Structure formats: structure tokens, C-alpha cells
Amino acid sequence: MKKAIAASAAAILVGYLGSALGYEMMNWPELDPILSIVIMGSVIICSLEKGK
């Protein structure tokens, strides 16, 4: 359960930073959901690989 909370917090933080940096600096407003999905996907893949 701790890993799920930490992964969710990391996805929210990275999404927020991606929103701020993507919109202001790179003119890429869709960066925040992309980064959040990448973070959660990597957490899922890592947890599945540890189960093997």
C-alpha cells in the first residue's frame, strides 16, 4: 500500500511540474498527463517484474 501511495504522489508531482514546465517553457500543454502516465506505467511494470 505504501508503494501505491508513493507512486500516486510521484505521478501528481511530476504531472504538476510537467504542466508548469511544459506550458510555460516548451509550449507543450499536454506534457503533464503524458508524464503522469509514464510514471504510473513504469511503477506497474516494475511491480510486475518483481513478482516473477
Q: Look at residue 52 in the predicted model and tell me its pLDDT.
A: 63
User: How does residue 51 score in pLDDT terms, banded at 50, 70 and 90?
Assistant: low
Work out the angle at residue 3's Cα, subtended by the Cα atoms of residues 6 and 22, and round it to the nearest 5 degrees: 40
C-alpha cell at 26: 516548451
**Whole-Å CA distances, 10 to 19, 22, 52:** 14, 17, 25
- pLDDT at residue 9 is higher than 70: yes
